[in-house]
Chain A
Amino acid sequence: MSPEKLARMANQITTFFHSKPHDEAVAGVADHISNFWEPRMRAQLFEKLAEGGEGLDPLVIEAKDQIRPVKQTA
C-alpha cells in the first residue's frame, strides 16, 4: 500500500489513543497494530520507522519497540 495510506492508518489509531494517559496510549497503539496488522503491513511500518518515521505521529514512533516484530519467513 502507499506509504501515505499506511501513515494515515497508523496516525488514525494514535488519534484515538491520544486521549489516554501517555504510557497507556503508547501501549494501546502498539497492541492495536500488533493485533490487527498483518506482518506485511507491520514490515512496511518498521521500514518507514527505520527511515526515521517521517509523517508518522510521535506515538507510533514511541510505540515502535512494543510492536510485535515480524518474523522473517518465506
Chain B
Amino acid sequence: MRLIQETDFGTPASRSEKTVMLTIDGFEVTVPEGTSVMRASQEVGISVPKLCATDMVDAFGSCRLCVVEIEGRNGTPSSCTTPVADGMVVHTQTGKLKDIRRGVMELYISDHPLDCLTCAANGDCELQDMAGAVGLRDVRYGYEGDNHVVARNSDQPNMRWMPKDESNPYFTYDPSKCIVCSRCVRACEEVQGTFALTIEGRGFDSRVSPGMHEDFLSSECVSCGACVQACPTATLTEKSVIEIGQPEHSVVTTCAYCGVGCSFKAEMRGEELVRMVPYKDGKANRGHSCVKGRFAYGYANHQDRILNPMIRDTIDEPWREVSWDEALSFTTNKLKKLQKDHGKNSIGVITSSRCTNEETYLVQKLTRAVFGNNNTDTCARVCHSPTGYGLGQAFGTSAGTQDFDSVEHTDVVIVIGANPTDGHPVFGSRLKKRLREGAQLIVIDPRRIDLVRSPHIKAAHHLPLRPGTNVAVLTALAHVIVTEGLMDEAFIRERCDWDEFQDYAEFAADERHSPEATEQLTGVPAEELRKAARLFAKGGNGAIYYGLGITEHSQGSTAVMALANLAMMTGNIGRKGVGVNPLRGQNNVQGSCDMGSFPHELPGYRHVKLPEVRAIFESLWGVEIDSEPGLRIPNMLDAAVDGTFKGIYIQGEDILQSDPDTHHVAAGLAAMECVVVHDLFLNETANYAHVFLPGSTFLEKDGTFTNAERRINRVRKVMSPKNGYADWEITQLLANAMGGNWSYSHPSEIMAEIAATTPSFANVTYDLLEEKGSIQWPCNEAHPDGSPIMHVDGFVRGKGKFIVTEYVATDERTGPRFPLLLTTGRILSQYNVGAQTRRTANVAWHEEDRLEIHPHDAEQRGIRDGDFVRLASRAGETSLRALITDRVAPGVVYTTFHHPGTQANVITTDYSDWATNCPEYKVTAVQVTPSNGPTEWQVEYDAQAKQSRRIVHAEPAE
C-alpha cells in the first residue's frame, strides 16, 4: 500500500476532439486543441514549476513560476494560460527561465515563515517543493521588512499580521502562510459554486477573506473542503492533519452518506484515519466533496458507539452486555419459538440502504432462505419506492436513466421536489457549474430553495406549488406541450406506443388540466407555468432531476409516471444531457432495491410469483421460496399491532425516528416479542429492542455501494471493525445460528452469487471493479462495460409507455383545526435521522430542527423568530423553535427531521402512496401555536429513551 498521489496537470482537460502536435523539450506531444502548454508538458511527464495552477480550476496566470520560452514568440509566457498550437516548439528549462523562477520564489519566500519542520504541511507543501525545484538557496531581501509573517515587528505590533482562524471545526486558516495564489477563491467559485471567498485589498495588502472579512464559520462557507484541497501551503489545513501528521498510505473507497456516492481516498497512518480526500478519478464526484463526506466521519469513534452485543428480556430492563455466542443463541431461540408458535410468517427483516449490496443481499436471503418467507423491506419503502414502480412501468427499469456527467450536456433542467445544494451537494455543485455556463433552470418546489436564487445562479422559472399538487402541475405542463404542439412527434412515433400516446394526449389536452384551470388549486401562476413548459419542450437537451418531494405523496407513483411522460413527449430520453434522474437519498438505496429487498421481488426486480425466477434461487440455495409477496414496513407494523407479526431483524435503519406516525411505529415495535437491532448506536428503534448487535462502519468492511446513477462503487476496508465483525459476517453468524449453513469468506463471493443470479449484474466481479474503478449496471454480455445512459436505442420494456395521470387530491387536507401544510426536508450539514452527523462537529451548523414559517402566518399567531412553538397534526404534536422566513409561502411550514428530540414524524400521518405504501411525509395539515417548551410527549419520550438506554456492563473475564 502506498499514498495515492494523483497527477496534477495544472489546468483542466480540453474536450476538443481535434488534436495538435507540438514539441516540448525535444519530445513530440499530441494533445487535444485548447490544452495548455503546462498540461501538454505534464502529459509527457515534464512538470513545469507552478503555484497558482491546479487542474481543478481554470488557469489564472498569477504566480509567474510556470513561464516557458516558445520559439518564434517574444518573452516568457506562462505555460498555464498559453494554449498549444500546431508545430509549437517549447523549452521549459533555460537559463533565463531559471533566473526568473528563482527570483519569483525568492520574493514569495521573503514573506513566508520558515518553520517548515514544525509546519503541518511538512511533506505535502507545494511551496516547499517549488523552492526545491527552482534551486532557491538564498533570500537576499531578508525577513525583517514589511511582512505578514510575524505578530510583532521589533516590539511593535505588526498590523499586517492576522491570527489563525480556527472557527471552522474541521480546518484552520493561517493567513501568515498564505501566498495569495487565489486557488481557494477559485475552487470555491468554480468547483463548489458558493462564492464565499474573495481576495480583499490590493497589491501587498491582498488577503484571502471569507465573506466580508468574516471568520470561516460565520461566512457563507459550506465547508466542502475544496479550498483546503486547493491550497498549496499550510494556509488551509485539516485540523486532523495538524493533530496527527501526514498520512502514509491511502485507500480509495466510497462515501457512506448520500446517493451521489462520491469516491474518496481514505488517507491513513496505520489504522488511524488522517483525512478523507475526494478522489479525482471518482466518476460521480470528479474530485469534489461536501462537508459530510469530507469531514463528518468522527462518529466512527464516538463514545456512543456500541461495540458489544447486548440482550434483555423486556424493554423496560437495562441492556446486558453478552458474548456474541450468547446474543446469537438468545436471538435464535426467540425467533424459532415465535415461528413455532405463530407460523413462519410471523417474523421478518429490514435491510439497510446504508449497508453494502453484499450485506443487503444476505439480509433478504436470510428471510427468504432461512426464515422461509418474503417479509423483507428496506428504507426505500419510505423514499424512492414510487420511483421503482413508476419508472418500471413507464420505461421497464426501476432506476434513473443517466450518469451525473450527463448534466454537463444539459440545456434545460427541471428540479422538482429536490434541494440538491443541501441534499445532494456534490451533484448540486456540478449542476450549478452547468447553470453558470448558461443552462436554464426550472424549479418546482413549494419552498424557495437556494437554487432559485444564489450567487451567479437564477432559475428562469420557479413554480411554488402547494404541497400535494405535483401531479396537477406536471399534467398542466403536459397540457401546454400537447395543446401548443411542442412535443417531439418523431421520437414518440419511433420510441413509444403511439396509441397510448394518443390516449394520453387526449387526456392531457382536456381543458380541466390547463394551467389556468389548475392555478386555483396548485397556486402556480398559469402564465409562468406555460413559459416553463415551452422552455422545457423547446430549450434543447432537457433533463429532469427529482427527489422525495415527488415520491413521498399519496400520488407519488403517479407523479413519477408524469415525469416519465414529460421526458418521453419531449424526446428527452436516451442520450447525454437528458433523462429522468431520481436523486437517491441513501448511499445504497439503489443497491438495496436492486438486491431484492422488497417483499414482492427477488434480486433484479423479478416478482416472487414467477416460478422460473424462484427456481434460480431455489436450486442455488437448496430451499423452497414462498411465492407470496411478504409484508412491507407499514404492513409489518400493522400486523404487529394485530398480533400476527412478532419478531424482526433490522439492519442499519432507525424506523422509529425515520418512519411516519411515530406513535403507530412505537405501538408496532412494542407489540413485537423479539426486535433485533443491528446498528452502530442505540438508535431510537433500539428503545424497543431486545437484542442489539453492534455494527461496523463503512471504513471497517469491504463491499460495494450503488449510487443514484446505478454506479457500483467499491467500499474498501481501511481499518479493523471495532465491534469485531463486518456487518455481512454478523448476518452470516445469525443465519448459521438459525441453521442457514452459509460459508462466505469474503464479500467478493457474495457478489459472485449476485452476478450468477441477476442478469443486470451478470458480468460484475471485484476484478472488473478493480480494473474499471466503477461500473454502471446493467453490466452483462450486451453491455460488458456497463451502461452510463439507459434506453439509448429503445426502452428496456420495448416501447415507452404513456400512462394517464389523473390528479387526485390527498385525503390530508387543511381545515379550521389544522390550517397550515407542513412539508419536510434536509439540510446540508446533517444527514437524515442524524445518527451519524449529530455525533460529529457538524452540529456547529445545525444544532436543532427549526420550523420555517412565513412572516404573515407568524404574525397572525404572535410568533417571533426563535420562539418555541407547538406543532400539531391529527397524528400528534411536538414543539420546536420557529424560524421566520419568506422562503416558504403563506400557508406552508417546513422543518428538517435530523434531531430525535424534535421528532417531526410524530406529526406526519400514516397516509401513503397508492401503489407502494411510500408514506406521505411531504404533506401534513398542521396548526402552529406559541408554546413554552417541549410538549408532555417529548418529555415522556426523552425519559423513556434514557431509561431504555441503560447498560449493565459485563464483568471482565478472570
Residues on A lying within 8 angstroms of B by beta carbon are: 1, 5, 8-9, 12-13, 15-16, 18-20, 32, 34-41, 68, 71, 73-74
Contacts and interface: CB of A to CB of B under 8 A. Distances in A.
Contacts of A74: 343-344
A52 to B, nearest CB: 22
Contacts of B808: 15-16
A12 B914 contact: yes
B628 A8 contact: no
Nearest to B631: A38
Contacts of A32: 915
Interface residues on B, range: 20 to 34
Given A5-B638, A5-B910, A38 B806 contact: no
B804 A20 contact: yes
A5 B642 CA distance: 13
B638 A35 contact: no
Contacts of B609: 34-35, 68
Nearest to B639: A40
B629 A36 contact: yes
Nearest to B598: A36
A41 B914 contact: no
Contacts of B804: 19-20
21 contacts: A12-B914, A13-B915, A15-B808, A15-B914, A16-B557, A16-B808, A34-B609, A36-B916, A38-B345, A38-B375, A38-B599, A38-B629, A38-B630, A38-B631, A38-B639, A39-B345, A40-B631, A40-B644, A41-B635, A71-B628, A73-B343
A37 B600 CA distance: 9
Contacts of B823: none
Q: Which of B343, B638, B910 has the most CB of A within 10 A?
A: B638
B607 interface: yes
Contact of A12 (B375, B554, B639, B642): B554
Contacts of B507: 19
A5 to B, nearest CB: 7
Top-10 shortest CB links A-B: A1-B638, A12-B914, A19-B806, A19-B804, A38-B631, A15-B808, A74-B343, A39-B628, A13-B914, A16-B914
Contacts of B17: none
B903 interface: no
Contacts of A68: 609
A16 B558 contact: yes
Nearest to B608: A35
A31 to B, nearest CB: 10
A38 B915 contact: no
Nearest to A32: B915
Nearest to A13: B914
Nearest to A41: B635
A73 B193 CA distance: 60
B806 A36 contact: no
Interface in B595-618: 599-600, 607, 609
A38 B558 contact: no
Interface in B613-629: 628-629
A16 B471 CA distance: 12
Contacts of B639: 1, 38, 40
Contacts of B600: 35-36
Contacts of B642: 1, 40
Interface of B: 343-345, 375, 507, 554, 557-558, 599-600, 607, 609, 628-632, 635, 638-639, 641-642, 644, 804, 806, 808, 811, 910, 912, 914-917
Contacts of B599: 38
Given A15-B808, A16-B914, 10 more contacts: A1-B639, A5-B910, A9-B914, A9-B917, A13-B915, A16-B806, A32-B915, A35-B609, A39-B628, A74-B344
Contacts of A71: 628
A53 to B, nearest CB: 18
A65 B507 CA distance: 30
A35 B644 contact: no
A12 B631 CA distance: 18
A24 to B, nearest CB: 11
Contacts of B912: 9
Contacts of A37: 629
A8 B811 contact: yes
Contacts of B641: 1
A19 B506 CA distance: 12
Contacts of B628: 38-39, 71
Contacts of A34: 609
A47 to B, nearest CB: 13
Contacts of A73: 343
Contacts of B811: 8
A73 to B, nearest CB: 8
Contact of A35 (B375, B629, B910): B629
B638 A38 contact: no
A18 B607 CA distance: 25
A35 B393 CA distance: 14
Nearest to A42: B628
Nearest to A12: B914
A13 B808 CA distance: 11
A71 B375 CA distance: 17
Q: Which of B554, B811, B914, B915 has the most CB of A within 10 A?
A: B914
Contacts of B630: 38
Contacts of B806: 15-16, 18-19
A37 B639 CA distance: 12
Contacts of A35: 600, 607, 609, 629
B784 to A, nearest CB: 33
A41 B645 CA distance: 12
Contacts of A5: 638, 910
Nearest to B913: A12
Nearest to B342: A74
B306 to A, nearest CB: 33
B513 to A, nearest CB: 12
B607 A16 contact: no
Contacts of A1: 635, 638-639, 641-642
B915 A16 contact: yes
Contacts of B558: 16
Contacts of A19: 507, 804, 806
B602 to A, nearest CB: 13
A30 to B, nearest CB: 13
Contacts of A12: 554, 914
B392 to A, nearest CB: 12
A22 to B, nearest CB: 14
Contacts of A13: 914-915
A71 B609 CA distance: 14
Contacts of A39: 345, 628
A74 to B, nearest CB: 5
A32 B558 CA distance: 14
Q: Which of A16, A38, A39 has the most CB of B within 10 A?
A: A38
Contacts of A38: 345, 375, 599, 628-632, 635, 639
A15 B554 CA distance: 11
A67 to B, nearest CB: 13
Contacts of B629: 35-38
Nearest to A2: B638
Contacts of A16: 557-558, 806, 808, 914-915
B348 to A, nearest CB: 10
B647 to A, nearest CB: 15
Q: Which of A16, A19, A39 has the most CB of B within 10 A?
A: A16
Nearest to A18: B806
Contacts of A41: 635
Nearest to A74: B343
A31 B336 CA distance: 33
A10 B917 CA distance: 11
Nearest to B637: A1
A39 B914 CA distance: 18
Contacts of B345: 38-40
A68 B806 CA distance: 27
Contacts of B638: 1, 5
A15 B303 CA distance: 51
Contacts of B635: 1, 38, 40-41
